[in-house]
Structure 1
Amino acid sequence: MARESRPKALGSGQCSYKRITLIVCFVNIVIALFVLRSLYSSLYIYSNKDNVVKYTPDQIRKMEESDKIRRASEPIELVKLVKRIKHELSSDELLAELPRAVKHKITDEILQRLRSLRPNASISDQQEAVETWRKEKLKEAKTLAVGGEGLNSTLLQEEAGMLVKALESNWAALSEEIGLWIPTEVTNQEHDDKPEGVEDTEEEDQILAGRPLPPQCHAELHTDYDGAAVRWGLTHHKESAADCCQACLDQAKNAKPGEKKCNIWVYCPSENGCYSPDIYQHKHMECWLKFSEKPRLNFKNRYSEQYRDKHPKAPVMVPWVSGIISE
C-alpha cells in the first residue's frame, strides 16, 4: 500500500511547479508591459515639455504690436482693385459675347426713347426714360430666355440670357459700351468763360499747349465739328490736343469689326472751359471722339451776331479745337 502512494505525490509536485512557472512568467509579462507604458508616457510628456515655449510679457507685447503693424500694412486697396479688375474682366467677356446686332438694336431703341422726350427735358427725365426702357427690355429678354416671345424672331434664347445678365448686373458696363452717358448732377446754367471786358477784343490766334500735332490730325483752331460720339468727352480728358488726336487714331486702329471708327476729334484747350449750347458745362481737357461719314461743322471761328443775340453767354470766338483724321 505504501509503494502505490508515491507516484501520486510525484505527479502532484510536477503540476504545482508548472503552475508556479506560468504565474511567474505572467507576472513578468505584466511588469514588462507596465514598464514599457511608463517609459512611453514619460517620453511623451518630456517631448511636450520641450515644445512648450514661455514668453515674457515684453515679448508678448512686441508680438501683438508686430501683428497690428502687419494688419495695418496689408494692401487692402490693392486687393479691392484686383477684385474690381476681375469683375470688369468678367463683364468685358460677357459684353464681348453679346452679339453686335443686339447692341446696335438696344442703342437705336434708347436713342428713339430719348428723342421722344420734349426738347427741354431735364436730366432726371432722361434718366427715368432710360431706366424705364431698361426694365421693359429686361422683362422682355427674360420672357424670351424661358421660351416665350421676346425681342424679335431672330434672337436666340442664349442671346436673350446674355442680355438679361447685361441689363441686370452689368448695366453700367453695357452703357459705356454703347456710348450712353447721362450725368447724375448737372448745373443747368450757362456760364461766361471769358473775363469781363476781354470778350470783344479776343484775338483769333491761339497757341496750343503740349507737343506738336501730327499732320494727319489736321488741327483747326476755333472749330467744332459735329458727329456721333464714339467716346464722351465729359468723362474723357487728355493733357493736350495732340493726345486727344492720338486717342482718336488709337480708337480707329483698335476698333472691332462693325464698330464706328473715330475720324473726328474735338478738344477743349481753354483752362476756363469751353462754351457749348447744350446743358453741360464743358471743362478744360475734354476730348470728344466722334464719327461721321460726312463731317459737318457746328461752329467755326466766330459765333455769329444772330447766334449771340439768342445766346448772350456765348463768347466771340469758338473755343474748341478740332480735326478730321486723314486716312
Structure 2
Amino acid sequence: MARGIARAVSFGGRATAGWFSYRRVTVAVCLGNLVAALLVLRSLTAPASFAPTAPNNGGLVPYTEEQIKRVEESIRIRREAEPVELVQAVKKLQKVFAREEKWRKELPLVLKQKISYDIVRRLQELGGNGSLAQQRVVESWRAEKLKDIKSASTQNQTNLDLSSDETRMLKRALEFNWRMLMEDIGLWIPEEVTHTVHDDKPENEPEEEEIIAGPPLSPQCNAELHTDYDGAAVRWGLTHHKESAADCCQACLDQAKNAKPGELKCNIWVYCPSEFGCYSPDKYEHKHQECWLKQADHPKLNFKDKYSESYRDAHPTAPVVVPWMSGVIGA
C-alpha cells in the first residue's frame, strides 16, 4: 500500500514537472503580453468608448440669458463691420476678369496677328502724322471691319480672309472688347493733348522784374538778362567762377584797368546765374557761376531772350529761354 502511494506521488511529480516546462511558460508569458498590447492599442484608437458618457439633455447646451445677449451682440457687430459693398464690388470684378480671361483664351493668336498686321499696314500708309490722325485711322479700320462682317454675315468674305468662327470672334472683339484687343496686340496710341494759352494779363501791366542773386550791378556794367555776347576770350570761364554777376562785371573792369600793353582789354562779361548750369552749343558743360571775360571791337550777339524754334529743332537739348546774362562795358 505504501509502495503504491509512493508510485502515485512519483508519477504526479513527473507530470507536474512536464507541465511546467520552460517552453510552455515562455509561450504563456508571450500570450499575456500580446493580450495587454491589444488592450492598450484599443484604448488609444477608441478613447471615446472608454470615456464616461454625459447625460443626454436632448443635444442642447444650457446658456444663460447674459451669454445669449453677448453672442447676439457679437454677431450684430460682425455683420455691421462687414464691408458689404466692397465684397460685392470684388465679386463683380472677379466675374469681369473671368470673362476677360475666357475671351483672351478663346481668341486665337493667329487672328490677333492678322489684325495687328492689317492695322500696322494702315498706319504705315498714313505716314508720320500725329496721334489724333492715328486714332482716326484705327477707328476707321474698326468701323470698316464691323460693316464688312455684318454685311457678309457668316460667309467668309472679310478682307482678313477669316473662317466663320474667327469672323464671329472678331465681331465680338470689335464690339465689346476693343480696348482689350488693342492691349493684346500691343497697340497703344497716346491721347492728343491740346494746350490752350490763357493770356488774361491786364493791359499796361508792368513785367515782373527778374531778381538776380548778389549785390546790385553798377550802371556801367550794362547788364542784360537772357543774353549771350560773342567775343575773343580774355579769361576762360570754365576755370573762372564768381559769386555773383556784379563780381563778374567787376572782374572785367579790373582786367581792363590792369591790362598790360599789348593784352586784350575786357569789354564784355558773360555770366551763368542758373544753379542748373547754362546751355551752350559747344562740347563743354557750363556750370553755375561761370564768368567769361571777352573782348570785341564791335560786340555781336550770340543769342538774345529765347532760342528760335528752328534752332531748337536743330539742337534738341537747347532750352526755350537763353540762360546767360551779360553786358558790354562802355556801350
TM-score (norm 1): 0.38
Highest RCO, 1 vs 2 (Cα 8 Å, sep ≥ 6): 1
Q: If you compute each CA radius of gyration, which structure gives the higher value, 1 or 2? A: 2
TM-score by length of 2: 0.37
